Amino acid sequence: MKKEEKAAPFIFDSITALMRALGLPKPLHPLIALVDYKDIKADTQEIEKGLMLNFYKISFKHHLKGKIRYGQGYYDFDEGGLSFVSPNQLISAGEGEQDYAGHTLLFHPDFIRNYPLAKTIKTYGFFSYSVAEALYLSDKEKTVIDTVFENIGQELSLPIDNFSQDVLVSQIELLLNYSNRFYNRQFITRKAVHNDLLAQMEQLPNDYFNNHEALMKGPPSVQYIAEKLQVSPRYLSDMLRQLTGLNTQQHIQQKLIDKAKEILSTTTLSVAEIAYMLGFEHPQSFNKIFKRKTNVSPGEFRQSFN
């Protein structure tokens, strides 16, 4: 039996094209639009199987019944909240009727191109999070976000003048800054979930080195750890930095140094042999990172035990 080919995603290069596909009138401004989900009348089942946008999408959902797919998993969103999609990310909805209230803000990179936000938007890590890592909002936070969306909607309803774009860009930046604040709160208030991730994060590099995987594959990468934990690399690093002060790469390096110290203090293997065992192609690279992290060379560390 011939394997069924996966359908290609619907690609939307313009906000106007997406609005047309949703059965909505063309936007008042071609580079920015605010969509109220209740206004969507078109059958979007085919589109929701997979679409790719050439612009930013920030969705504020009060309640959502059904499931959203990310990668190979499906995730429930009964609490509602904010999710963020940057240009050229593949997104899709799962099976089941989508029934939710809320808004989606769409804006093209060209809309912010002549503003500092065009550069700083890349520092908002949540655009690289997966759908499963949406921002869950408290009632007070929902009120704050609601107000920002209302302000954007009111501004879009006014005739365009010389200040329209300035005001809208400032509102987008305000929305992103509030989201940053609320994500930091989420890392703290959802500690039970994150502490479980942290425990797994602590164990994964240990197992990797103990099973001698580094010898064959090199040191564990951030991508490897994130895939094992089933989270996006950026979310994992932001979560770890909030809880421990170290990002994922720093955690991996710390585990590598701990393993190196263990081998140096309990075996007679040469420094070069230990370097290869830990996944380094060149012992000099191992020596450099060890000294940078401990202020002594591997040889000096070993001599301290004699």
CATH code: domain of residue 218: 1.10.10.60
| Token couple for 161 | 């003048």
In whole angstroms, what is the distance from residue 218 CA to residue 212 CA? 10
Residue 4 lies in a domain: no
In whole angstroms, what is the distance from residue 171 CA to residue 292 CA? 43
User: Domain containing 271: what range?
Assistant: 192-303
Domain termination residue (choose one: 189, 205, 224): 189
Question: For 216, what's the count of Cα atoms within 13 Å in the CB-facing half-sphere?
Answer: 5
State the pLDDT at residue 3: 47
Question: Do residues 37 and 180 both lie within one domain?
Answer: yes
State the pLDDT at residue 94: 45
* CATH code of the domain covering residue 153: 2.60.120.280
Question: Do residues 38 and 152 both lie within one domain?
Answer: yes
Question: Do residues 144 and 21 both lie within one domain?
Answer: yes
Residue 5 lies in a domain: no
State the pLDDT at residue 95: 39
Question: Do residues 153 and 233 both lie within one domain?
Answer: no
In whole angstroms, what is the distance from residue 75 CA to residue 127 CA? 18
Region label for 23, one of left (φ > 0), alpha (ψ between -120 and 50) or beta (otherwise): left
Question: Do residues 182 and 35 both lie within one domain?
Answer: yes
Question: Do residues 71 and 181 both lie within one domain?
Answer: yes
In whole angstroms, what is the distance from residue 49 CA to residue 171 CA? 31
Q: Which of 46, 12, 49, 10 is nearest to 27 (CA)?
A: 12
Helical residues (DSSP H) of the chain, grouped into ranges: 15-21, 45-48, 117-120, 139-157, 164-189, 191-210, 213-217, 222-229, 233-244, 248-266, 271-277, 283-294, 298-303
For residue range 143-202, what is the model confidence (pLDDT) as tens digits? 899 999 999 999 999 998 999 999 999 999 999 999 989 887 877 666 555 666 777 888
Task: Specify the number of domains making up the chain.
Answer: 2
State the pLDDT at residue 63: 63
Mean pLDDT of the chain: 82
State the pLDDT at residue 2: 47
> What HEC string does 155-176 produce?
HHHCCCCCCHHHHHHHHHHHHH
Question: Do residues 214 and 145 both lie within one domain?
Answer: no
Say how far residue 296 (Cα) sits from the centre of its chain: 36
| Token couple for 101 | 């209230």
In whole angstroms, what is the distance from residue 230 CA to residue 214 CA? 21
Question: Do residues 183 and 41 both lie within one domain?
Answer: yes
Which residue numbers in the chain have pLDDT < 50?
Answer: 1-4, 64-77, 94-97, 99
Question: Do residues 226 and 166 both lie within one domain?
Answer: no
Burial of 222 (C-beta count, 10 Å sphere; 0-12/13-18/19+): middle
Question: Do residues 185 and 200 both lie within one domain?
Answer: no
Residue 14 lies in a domain: yes
Domain termination residue (choose one: 155, 189, 223): 189
Domain termination residue (choose one: 163, 189, 215): 189
Query: Do strands 51-53 and 10-12 pair parallel, antiparallel, or not at all (unpaired)?
Result: parallel
Residue 225 lies in a domain: yes
